[in-house]
Amino acid sequence: MLQGFDRPEQEVTVGMVGKYTHLTEAYKSLSEALAHAGVHTRTKVKITYLDSERLQDEGTGCLEGLDAVLVPGGFGERGVEGKIAAVRYARENLVPYLGICLGMQVAVVEYARNVAGLEKAHSTELDPATPHPVIALITEWQGENGHIERRDAGTDLGGTMRLGGQSCRLEPGSLARKVYGRPQIRERHRHRYEFNNRYLDRMMDAGLRFSGWSLDGKLVEIVEIPDHPWFIASQFHPEFTSTPRDGHALFQGFIAAALGRRKE
């Protein structure tokens, strides 16, 4: 326990739904960020690691009784339908949800399929033949320094990622803006695929809010559901900037929402 911080007064259980749960060290940055949030909210945070393939095969019964659900980043198709099922459970049962990187992308896919009426919507990373590519490979964009960056599906994975710290503008009145308490943030990225802006109007009409944008307004950074108690998903990795001394606003807000659900 850090000097000057009191011992936990309460406890919550967070379900982390991923496909590397047999090796929990794969989520070390996330588990530490949750622990940091626990310090700052005086909460003991218990993490239940849930294999997304289990949800895919057996359903979402293992999510019952959780105070919050977190879907982290990852690559590849294995277990992704289980992650989508976890998002749907959290959305429909009003369970606090935090999605990170792929966790944001599956949140968009789930909302597109089950709320916006876009049957078989998916990411082209996982289903190149999807009729509704709500997540897709953006082949060209401008970096903060004005340099044009280009991606190609056939080139080296690392060479085509959006990497490192980048600035994000937060929409006034959004939950993200309230959580961070400022209009602009800077967070670290590690991904290739982005939200496909062709579906922006359709998703907004269905109720999804796009609350965080790149400074040029072309890349979606954060989505949220306004009529949900606490549902935020980010394209970036907030866990990379969490520290024991300062914590991180998103994780602290997430744990505070989990406490609210526990008390209800």
**Catalytic residue annotation:** 101, 237, 239
Provide the 10 A C-beta neighbour count for residue 41.
21
Give how far Cα 65 sits from Cα of 9, 17, 85, 174, Å.
Answer: 20, 15, 16, 28
What ranges make up the beta strands (E) of 21-179? 43-51, 68-71, 97-100, 121-123, 132-137, 140-142, 148-150, 162-170
User: Under DSSP, is residue 234 helix (H, G, I), strand (E, B) or coil?
Assistant: strand
User: Under DSSP, is residue 264 helix (H, G, I), strand (E, B) or coil?
Assistant: coil
Tell which residue, 47, 62, 64, 56, has the closest CA to residue 19. Answer: 56
Round to whole Å and give the CA distance between 156 and 186: 26
Answer whether 41's CB lies under 8 Å from 7's CB.
no
